[in-house]
Structure 1
């Protein structure tokens, strides 16, 4: 029998991080949209970011949906691990109580 260990707090942190990434993906199409050519260095950099943003818009929606799904999966996994752990602990406590009363099975 193998030992299964799940750090549900870490899994939830992962889910929250994915949620933040999802919001970043859906809120901004162009990472340089608030910057001028002066701030970025020159107009070639601005043009490169504009080209990137155009291509990014095409793939961003699918990628954002996949990130959102992964965030949901990780959140639900943490909930499931916690529920399984609680159910197992309750079953073991019931078995211990039965054993103490002499009604347990070997």
Structure 2
């Protein structure tokens, strides 16, 4: 009967995904803004202006990526919690059902 299941969830994959998302979030969060450190190497004001625009755009996109990573991470965590809870409830039901059958 267990082989007739329509839904199969690889919780290990979900846990690994959550861990990787946390690592990505940490990496993107810890990326320092080194604009001021690099400014002396850029040369002309035109290049400096272009690089400032690039850095500003990168910061905006990085913030959006962090939001997306956080959202997906929360969804994965919620999915893990839901399936683990469901699995525990089903196991409890089977144990209690087995006790009723022995009576």
Taking structure 2 as the reference length, the TM-score comes to: 0.69
Structure number with greater CO (CA < 8 Å, separation at least 6) is: 2
Map 1:4-83 to 2 at 5 A.
Answer: 4-28=7-31, 52-83=54-85
The CA deviation at 1:54 is: 3.0
TM-score normalised by the chain length of structure 1: 0.68
User: Are 1:88 and 2:90 an aligned pair?
Assistant: yes
Q: Which is richer in helix?
A: 2
Task: State the Cα RMSD in Å.
Answer: 3.0
8 Å CA contact 1:15–1:74 kept in 2: the answer is yes
Aligned length: 93
- For residues 69 and 30 of structure 2, the distance between their equivalents in structure 1, rounded to whole angstroms, comes to 14
